[in-house]
Structure 1
Amino acid sequence: MSDFETVTPEQIPAGAKIIDIREQDEWDLGHAEGAVHLPLSELADRIDEIDPDEDNYIICRSGGRSRRACEWLNSQGYTVIDVAGGSGAWMDAQLPLVSENGEEPTIR
């Protein structure tokens, strides 16, 4: 059993800190509007960019990587919430997406 909460994209409060842990190519195609990019491959080296006392909503593509990241961050004392279904669920819920490549945002 985990020590962190899991929510759907629709349950994320407005203005919440969303950390997208997907890799650069995934991020460039499309991501939640307002999210912060912190790839899983860089998480350990950049952990000081995360406020341990703030609610941090962790999102990936489908939920597997975010769950692993939440388990690790939680063990380090961080307050994290896993976003169930990831960016795919975000897109399915028709929540705002933006891209970094000048094209229509998408999740793959």
Structure 2
Amino acid sequence: MSIPTVEVTGVPDPIPVPVLDVREDFEWQAGHIDGALHIPLSELPARVGEVPDGQFLVTCKVGGRSAQAVAWLTANGHEAVNLAGGMLDWAAAGRPMVSENGQTPTVA
């Protein structure tokens, strides 16, 4: 099965679609894409009703968990696209992030 994937360089600024972040709480707190929806991968099946309609971008730290999420979501009828390289590549590209802990946003 092919997983729909996009590189950071292929994501317009501003992002034209919703973003789903499937990392754990501590990772989310440290830094994430502004406006993203946070549903940890382990909670995704129980919270799938919260995912956006239409196409959306899925991210994690390096792209592995988000690829798992995209595989599951697309198999269940959603238009999800994996962010290759995850938040590490996002941060390395200098793309904007926000944090929930009052600190400078980082990728944990």
TM-score w.r.t. length of structure 1: 0.91
The Cα RMSD (Å) is 1.2
Partners in 2 of 1:97 and 1:40 — Cα distance? 20
User: 1:88 is paired with a residue of what secondary structure?
Assistant: helix
- Equivalent pairs counted in the alignment come to 106
Kindly state the Cα deviation for residue 41 of structure 1 after the two structures are TM-superposed. 1.2
- Structure 2 partner of 1:48: 49
- Structure 2 partner of 1:7: 6
Which AA in structure 2 matches 1:61?
Answer: K
Partners in 2 of 1:106 and 1:9 — Cα distance? 17
1:1-108 correspondence to structure 2 within 5 Å: 1-2=1-2, 4-13=3-12, 14-52=15-53, 54-108=54-108
Kindly state the Cα deviation for residue 16 of structure 1 after the two structures are TM-superposed. 1.6
Displaced runs of 4+ in structure 1, greater than 4 A? none
Partners in 1 of 2:9 and 2:23 — Cα distance? 20
Query: How far does the alpha carbon of each residue in 1:15-56 deviate from its partner, in whole angstroms, 9 at most, with x for none?
Result: 32110000100000001122111111110000011134x111
Kindly state the Cα deviation for residue 8 of structure 1 after the two structures are TM-superposed. 1.4
Percentage identity across aligned positions? Answer: 42
Which AA in structure 2 matches 1:23?
Answer: E
Partners in 2 of 1:69 and 1:33 — Cα distance? 20
User: 2:82 is paired with a residue of what secondary structure?
Assistant: strand
5+ long unaligned stretches in structure 2: none
Partners in 2 of 1:36 and 1:60 — Cα distance? 12
Partners in 1 of 2:79 and 2:9 — Cα distance? 19
5+ long unaligned stretches in structure 1: none
Partners in 2 of 1:16 and 1:51 — Cα distance? 9
TM-score w.r.t. length of structure 2: 0.91
Which AA in structure 2 matches 1:64?
Answer: G
Higher deviation after alignment, 74-83 or 4-13: 4-13
